[in-house]
Amino acid sequence: MVSGYKFLVADDHPLFRGALKNALSGMDGDCEILETGDFDGVKKLADRGVDLVLLDLSMPGVSGLSGLITLRGMHPTVPVAVVSAHDDPETIRRALDLGASGFIPKSAGMDEIRRAVGVILDGGVYTPENVDLGLEADPEIADLIRRLQMLTPQQTRVLGMLAEGLLNKQIAYELGVSEATIKAHVSAVLQKLGVDSRTQAVIRLSRIGTDAIVLET
């Protein structure tokens, strides 16, 4: 049953958003479905309070798993299902390691989408059947994921804003805290990522983007 649930469908292709909405609407019970085609919309709509985000990996405003990282920092208790055409084991494993509650290939049929959503709403983690996730083959990516997992939700959110090019005072305004607090968060982020500057932190984060993933698969 999905009665009373609020979903956020985030994909820049209207036809695929429509397919996801049809799958969700076809489940038992009534639900509310929000939709957006860019990452700015994801951040704004997620603030309204949703029960599950179905997130494409690449859309205007974000590329790759950095969007998942940012969203997990903003709303650490909201489950996120990554929905992507990049459904190789490496991408799936990395998405789950970075906090996704499930991975739904874009090739999935209606029944699989509904099954995946049901598993996640029940508190489980959904992975496609007959996929061997294996172990991370790239030591740099493995180290980066381990370091990202060490960040607190607020530090993760600050990192995402650094990636957007925001200054400390702008981040402080957005988060409603002092600039000194942001400076402390930035210092902690740099230390945990093992880098010396904001620029290096953003470059490290970009290593988890879709382009890097595709090249390695």
Asked if residue 210 has pLDDT above 60, the reply is no
Q: Please give the full DSSP string across 34-87, using - where no structure is assigned.
A: EEESSHHHHHHHHTT--SEEEEESEETTEETTHHHHHHHHH-TTS-EEEEES--
pLDDT, residue 211, reads: 41
Dist. CA 123–CA 52, nearest whole Å: 11
- Could you tell me the CATH superfamily of domain 5-121? Response regulator (3.40.50.2300)
In the chain, CATH 1.10.10.10 sits at 139-216
Answer for the pair 217, 171: CB distance below 8 angstroms, yes or no.
no
CATH topology of domain 139-216: Arc Repressor Mutant, subunit A (1.10.10)
Answer for the pair 47, 71: CB distance below 8 angstroms, yes or no.
no
pLDDT tens-place string over residues 114-142: 999 999 999 999 999 888 888 888 898 89
Asked if residue 143 has pLDDT above 90, the reply is yes
Dist. CA 149–CA 168, nearest whole Å: 23
Instruction: Specify the pTM.
Output: 0.86
pLDDT, residue 213, reads: 38
Dist. CA 141–CA 190, nearest whole Å: 17
In the chain, CATH 3.40.50.2300 sits at 5-121
- The band of 87, judged by pLDDT with boundaries at 50, 70 and 90, is confident
pLDDT tens-place string over residues 16-66: 999 999 999 877 777 899 999 999 999 999 988 899 999 998 888 877 788
Who wins on pLDDT, 184 or 213? Answer: 184
